[in-house]
Amino acid sequence: MRRKIIEIDRGLCDGCGLCTTACAEGALALDEENKAVLVKEIYCDGLGACLDVCPTAALRIVDREGEGYDAEAAFQHVQIARGKEAAKHVHGSGGGKKKSVPGASELRQWPIQLHLVSPCAPYFRGSDLLVAADCTAFALGSFHPDLLKGKKLVIACPKLDETEGYAEKLAELIKHNGLRSLTVVIMTVPCCSGLCRIVERAVELSGVEIGVQRKVIHIDGNPAS
């Protein structure tokens, strides 16, 4: 699959090791030549937390073919290498689940932006999927308890994102994960309807018979449907 992943310029790497500790998923290590290397593609979430600490600009995020990010594999890897507390910080893993309390986040995975998610990520399997326009979580104050709780999340903006390939990517996610339900939430603004069309096209491409529940939020934050 094509996705965002770390790339290392060995000529620029000075072996400081700062990136290896900045990566919560343990995707980077120093080799026998004291150069940073990618341990396994499945440990790299492609978010680039390591970039800011590299003093020589030896790291960059590229878009290329590679294995999908596996949050649970990264969790197990970090738990063995660094311990349970460190493993709780691995993006998208279930190892650091929080108790549900008033006002608490209901987000249980990372990443969430459609450009970044892997259709093969294990947390999507058998899940209730919520596809949300970016603005909805800001407009609806009860987004987490009312819409997100118990679901996995993908966000996108049909107006500002480069949406080419979005329908195909969602189709792969729908096709291979046996989703229990699929919900799309948008704003009442005209551009948001494009997200519904992307989701409907994705279902068509996937060949999976699954209904799409649509929810609409007014710009004043009140649900329209």
Does the structure show a pLDDT above 60 at 93?
Answer: yes
What residues pair up with 57 in beta bridges, in sequence order? none
What residues pair up with 132 in beta bridges, in sequence order? 155, 185
Least confident of 66-70, 169-173, 205-209: 66-70
Dihedral angle over CA of 193, 196, 200, 203, nearest 10: 160
Collapse the DSSP code of 214 into the 3-class scheme (helix H, G, I; strand E, B; otherwise coil) and give the result. Answer: strand
- Spatial separation of the C-alpha atoms in residues 93 and 2, rounded to whole Å: 21
Domains of the chain as residue ranges with CATH: 1-97 (3.30.70.20), 122-217 (3.40.1360)
- Spatial separation of the C-alpha atoms in residues 86 and 104, rounded to whole Å: 21
Does the structure show a pLDDT above 60 at 101?
Answer: no
Per-residue model confidence (pLDDT) at position 103: 62
- Spatial separation of the C-alpha atoms in residues 93 and 97, rounded to whole Å: 8
Does the structure show a pLDDT above 70 at 150?
Answer: yes
pLDDT in tens, 20-60: 999 999 999 999 999 999 999 999 999 888 988 899 999 99
Global model pTM greater than 0.85: no
Q: What is the mean pLDDT of residues 189-215?
A: 94
Does the structure show a pLDDT above 50 at 175?
Answer: yes
Per-residue model confidence (pLDDT) at position 94: 64
Q: What is the mean pLDDT of residues 93-110?
A: 66
Does the structure show a pLDDT above 80 at 96?
Answer: no
Residue found under tokens 């009312």 = 146
% of the chain residues with pLDDT over 70: 95
Q: What is the mean pLDDT of residues 3-9?
A: 94
Locate all alpha helices (DSSP H) within 58-216, ordered by sequence. Answer: 71-82, 84-87, 136-139, 143, 166-177, 193-206
% of the chain residues with pLDDT over 90: 71
Mean pLDDT of the chain: 90
Collapse the DSSP code of 202 into the 3-class scheme (helix H, G, I; strand E, B; otherwise coil) and give the result. Answer: helix
- How distant, in Å, are the alpha carbons of 23, 36, 130, 201 from that of 43? 10, 14, 25, 31
Dihedral angle over CA of 183, 188, 194, 199, nearest 10: 10
Does the structure show a pLDDT above 90 at 102?
Answer: no
